[in-house]
A and B are shown apart, each in its own frame.
Chain A
Amino acid sequence: MKKSGAQILIECLQAEGVDTIFGYPGGQVLPIYDALYDADLRHILTRHEQGAAHAADGYARASGRPGVCLATSGPGATNLVTGIANAYMDSVPMVAITGQVPTTLLGRDSFQEADITGITLPITKHNYIVKDISELARTIREAFYIATTGRPGPVLIDIPKDVSAGQAYHEDPGPLYLPGYSPRLEPDTAQVARAVRAIEESERPVIYAGGGVVSGFAHGELLSLAELLLAPVSTTLMGLGGFPGDHPLSVGMLGMHGSKYANYAICDCDLLIGVGVRFDDRVTGKLDEFAPGATVIHIDIDPAEIGKNVGVDIPVVGDVRTALQRILEKLQPRLATRWRDTILNWKKEYPIEFEENGRIKPQEVIREIYNVTGGKARITTEVGQHQMWAAQYYTYTRPRTFISSGGLGTMGFGLPAAIGVQVACPEEIVIDIAGDGSIQMNIQEMQTAVNYKLPVKVAVMNNGYLGMVRQWQELFYNRRYSYTELQNPDFVKLAEAYGAAGIRVTKKSEVRPALEEALRIPGPVMIDFQIEREENVLPMVPPGEPINKMLG
C-alpha cells in the first residue's frame, strides 16, 4: 500500500525509537501534522520554534537519546536556528525536521521559503533536503545514525511539501552507505601505551573532564582512573556531574569562574589529562600560560579537536569510554598522595565563598535549592551570573543533572530545556535556575509547561540587571551601566497569567519556605527571588589573563 511522505516520516521516527517530538505547525508541514493527528507519537506543542529546539535539546541531554523538533518552512525553520547552533556547540544529538516549499517552487523566493540547509550548514553535523520521496526513509535513518554516533550533533532534514504529501511505498532503505563517515571508536594501541607511560611517570597529574565524559557515558571509568591515581578531577561547565562533585578528589569547575584550587592545580600539574574536552577559551584563559609545565594527554572522539587550541603531547583519539577502559587495563597505579594532599590544602585555603549580609544572596538561594532537593534535582540554567552560581554552589553528583548552554551561551535556553528534561524524566524534580533577563527570552514556554502539566520550577535570580554584562561593565568599563538595567514585569502575576503559580521572595528568611512550597505545588511554579542587585560572580579570571591570576 502506498503511504504519504508524512506517514513514512512518522513510521521512520517510530522505528528509530522516537516517542516524543517538540514542534510548531505551519503551512508547509500541514501534511506532517495531519499524519500526527492520529499517530502513536507524542507531540509537544511549544509556543515558539526556538522553544521546540531547546526542549528537544534538553530532552536529549537528560535522556541520552536524540531529541527531535519539527517546524515549518521559512520563519519556522529560522526560529530553530539558535536551538540548532546551541546543540551543535554542545554536541547534543538532535534531529531537526523542517517543512519546505514544494520542490517546484524552490529557489523562487516563494512565500515562507528560506534556504534552511544553506543557513544551517555551519551549525549542523550534516543536513539534507529530501527532493524525492524515495529518498525519505534512507535519509531519516542516516540522519539519526549521524546525529547519535561519533561526536554527537544536530542533523537537519528539510522536507518540501510535495514530498510529505506525495505517495510512495514505504520500503526499507537497506544497509547504510556512508563512505565519508567513520567515527573512530577504538583508540590506537600505541597512543594508549604512550598515555599510560606518561601517567605512570607523572607525579602531579590532573584530570580535566568535559562534556564528552557525560555524552560518552564514561563517568564510571573516569571515577576509576581518578581513584587509581588519586588525581584531582576538574570538570568544565559541560562536564559537571560527570564526576561526583562531593568526591574528595573533585576540585570543581576550572577556568574563568572556576575554583581557585582547580586553576592552581592546572597551573602546577606535570600532567594534564584532558578527557572529552575542547580547550575552550573560557577554560584556558591566556593560552600560553595554561598548564605551562605539563605534558598534555588529550582523549577525544573528534580528531579535529586535537591540537585545535592547545598543543597536545599525546593524543588518544577514540570513544572516551573505550579509551579510558584501554588505559585502565594497562595502568599500574601510582598514587599521587603528596600532590593530593597539596590539593586538599588548597581546597581548605581557597574555598569558593561569598559574604553574607541581611539581603538575599543568590549563592545562598542556590545552596538552599541543593538542600531542599537533597541534591537530587535536574537543574537547567539560562545564561549569565545565575548560571555560574548554579555551577559553583550546587553540587552535581550524577551525569545529566546539570543542563546548561555551554558553548553558545544562549539566554532563553533554560525554561524550554527544563520542559524537555521533565518530559524525559517525568518523575524527577526539574528546576530552571534563571535570571530576570534570560527568562524573558523564552517566557512564553510557561504556557507549554502549564498545558502539559509539566511541574518545572523556575527560580528567577532577579537583580534587575543583565547581571553578567553589568559585572563586566563594573570591572572593565568604569561602572558605565549601559543598557543593562532592566525594567521587569511582575513575575508573580505573569506566572499566574499563564496559569502557573508565582511566589515572590523579598526576605532572606523566606527563601527556604518558598522553595519548599514550590516543591509542594504539583504544577509549574515561578519564584521571583529579589536578590542583592550588584552581587558579582567570583572568583573571576579577567579576560586575557592566565587562569591562576584570579579576582576575588
Chain B
Amino acid sequence: MQHTLAVMVENNPGVLARVAGLFSRRGYNIDSLAVGRTENPEVSRMTIVVEGDQRELEQVTKQLHKLVDVIKISDVTVERYVDRELVLIKVSATPSQRGEVMQIADIFRARIVDLGAKSITVECTGNDGKINAFEESLRSYGIKELVRTGKIAMLRGIRGVQTQESGVRNQESE
C-alpha cells in the first residue's frame, strides 16, 4: 500500500542527502518526494510517498526518526487529507489542433502557460488520478515534455502536522 509521509526536518545543508541516503541503503523505495520550506523558515517539509506494508513503513519511520535533523513524521494516509500535485505538459499542437487541446485543458481546469507555433504548454494541479487522466487525454497529440512536482499533502480540518519539537531543548550547560 502507498503511504504519504509528511516529514518535518531542520533546514540544514545535507538534510535531503541524509533522508534520501537512508531510503536507498535500507532498501526502501521512494515513489515521490517533494521538499519545501514551511511557515517556519528553519523547518522544511518533505512529502514522501512510499510503497510498503505496515511493517516496512514502521521501519522506515523509525529509521527516519534516528536522523538528528528529522523533527517529526506523520503518515497522513491514515487520516483525512488532501493531496495535490502539479504537472507541466508540453504538447505538440498545430494551430488547427489548439482548440481541441484548450478544450481538454478546460475540462481538467488546467491553464495554458505557454504557446508556440507547434506546441502548447499546460499546467494542471490535482491528485494522482486527475493528473494521470489529464496526461492520458493529451497523449494522442504527442507529449514533448512532462514534469511533475511530486505529491504534497495536508490533513483536513483545523489540526495540522505539528512542527513543535519533542527533542532536547534548554539542556543545562555544564
- Physical interaction between A and B: yes
Contacts of B166 in A (CB 8 A): 179, 182
Say yes or no for A308: interface residue by CB 8 A criterion. Answer: yes
Say yes or no for B25: interface residue by CB 8 A criterion. Answer: yes
Say yes or no for B135: interface residue by CB 8 A criterion. Answer: no
A130 to chain B, nearest CB (A): 12
Q: Is the CB of B66 within 8 A of A304?
A: yes
- In the complex, the chain B residue whose C-beta lies closest to that of A146 is B68
B61 to chain A, nearest CB (A): 9
Say yes or no for B18: interface residue by CB 8 A criterion. Answer: yes
Contact with B65, one of A121, A145, A303 (Cβ below 8 angstroms): A303
Known: A15-B174, A302-B66. A178 touches B59 (CB 8 A): no
Compute how far the CA of A224 lies from the CA of B71 in the bound complex, rounded to whole angstroms.
38
Q: How large is the interface on B (under 10, 10 to 19, 20 to 34, 35 or more residues)?
A: 20 to 34
A157 to chain B, nearest CB (A): 13
0 or 1 for each of B113-151: is its CB under 8 Å from A? (1 = yes) = 000000000000000000000000000000000000000
- In the complex, the chain B residue whose C-beta lies closest to that of A305 is B62
- How many residues of A are in contact with the other chain, CB < 8 A? 27
Contacts of B168 in A (CB 8 A): 145, 176-179, 181-182
Compute how far the CA of A176 lies from the CA of B173 in the bound complex, rounded to whole angstroms.
8
0 or 1 for each of B7-51: is its CB under 8 Å from A? (1 = yes) = 001100010011001100100000000000000000000000000
Q: Is the CB of A180 within 8 A of B69?
A: yes
Compute how far the CA of A17 lies from the CA of B25 in the bound complex, rounded to whole angstroms.
35
Say yes or no for B55: interface residue by CB 8 A criterion. Answer: yes
Q: Is the CB of B18 within 8 A of A180?
A: no
- In the complex, the chain A residue whose C-beta lies closest to that of B42 is A179
B40 to chain A, nearest CB (A): 10
Q: Is the CB of B14 within 8 A of A175?
A: no
A17 to chain B, nearest CB (A): 9
Compute how far the CA of A118 lies from the CA of B20 in the bound complex, rounded to whole angstroms.
12
Q: Is the CB of B55 within 8 A of A175?
A: no
Q: Is the CB of A181 within 8 A of B21?
A: no
Say yes or no for B79: interface residue by CB 8 A criterion. Answer: no
Known: A180-B68, A181-B68, A304-B66. A121 touches B167 (CB 8 A): no
Q: Is the CB of B21 within 8 A of A179?
A: no
Contacts of A145 in B (CB 8 A): 168, 171
Contact with A117, one of B14, B63, B165, B167 (Cβ below 8 angstroms): B14
Say yes or no for A508: interface residue by CB 8 A criterion. Answer: no
Contacts of B159 in A (CB 8 A): none
Q: Is the CB of A180 within 8 A of B21?
A: no
- Interchain Cβ contacts under 8 Å between A and B, 28 examples: A118-B14, A118-B17, A121-B18, A122-B21, A125-B66, A125-B68, A126-B68, A141-B173, A145-B171, A174-B173, A175-B170, A176-B170, A177-B169, A178-B68, A178-B169, A179-B10, A179-B165, A180-B69, A180-B71, A180-B72, A181-B167, A181-B168, A182-B166, A182-B167, A182-B168, A304-B63, A306-B62, A307-B59
* Across the A-B interface, the 8 shortest Cβ-Cβ residue pairs: A179-B165, A304-B62, A176-B171, A178-B168, A179-B167, A182-B167, A180-B71, A126-B68
Known: A122-B22, A302-B66. 5 other contacts (CB 8 A): A121-B21, A125-B68, A176-B170, A179-B165, A304-B62
